Structure 1
Amino acid sequence: MHLPFSLRGIRGAIDITIDVTRDPEDVGASPGAVGLPHCRATIEYPGKGYDSLMGWVQMVRSTDNDSGGEAFEMDPLMFVGEVPHPFGFFGITPTLFDAPARRSDADLDWLCQSFLTYIKDFEGETRVVKAIAGFSWGFSRENGMTAVKPTQRLESNDWGGQLDLLHREHPGWRFLDDFGTP
């Protein structure tokens, strides 16, 4: 999927690739990733320096999460632990990479919402996050068979649906409810 966006009047795009993990060592994943999809989202953006500073905020709804698949949760990088910010990846045109893994072959429904964001200077406030683009991806596993869900563009209402979670998990940050081109 090729997802265009604009930031600071400069056009960019996200290139999203979903593939099945055949050899976890090839992507640095754990053995439980075999047969499950992994995602790589790269950013094409000609802005330079701080103008290309962005972050990925990612939430997952899964039938094996605390809510049993009823609600989204922040997607943790298990090997990093808790972090004091909402970003899974942050930096100069950061690449998003995720390779879900499970220790069990149990049936599973897994959906991820990934949002490209930036920190906006908002009336002198710091720690203000604005989403400019997003996409969903995921998979389901039933009776040992895994089916990849099609990648879909996310809209303003998808970001808006995550604001309560974001405010609850990161109370020291402000998340703007407007979405898209700044």
Structure 2
Amino acid sequence: MRPPILLKTILDICFIFSAFSLVVFLISLIITFSTGTDLFVSIEKPPEDLNNFALWGLILIEVIKTFAFVYGLYVLRKLIRSFFGNKLYTKLQIASLNLSGRLICLSVILGAVSEFFKKMIVDSRIELNFGLEFSFSSFWIILAFGIFLIFLSKVFTNARQLKQENELTI
């Protein structure tokens, strides 16, 4: 069974777009910080009393969050491509499901931590928001998706064991 060309093309376009946007963002961020001019990213000047260590810490958290999300998408792309090979319950698929779920959860949690610290350091206020958002980009939806992928890896592990036991009895 050949994989649908449209699905492979959509997966490739999504990954290329996310990787390209990450590279463009990082280049524009470097140019903005080094020259002081806004290229693609409009950065407000932080308050004068803001600690530079805290500012670089926030930037580092954002970069790690973005890399984790893009790498999670890359692993998910490899996983979906492995499904087209007509083999199920391989170790690669189990590890890919687990890793992509963990990376997506890490990305979402780092985003929440970054927002908390940004409000605390830049705005000098502490705010916790546990509200529900009804969009696909909300904290809870993406976290649930990551946890679902981790759960699915456990299901695949059990299915792999059952498949191996079934092959032994035949």
Q: TM-score, normalised by structure 1?
A: 0.22
Which is helix-richer, 1 or 2? 2
Which is strand-richer, 1 or 2? 1
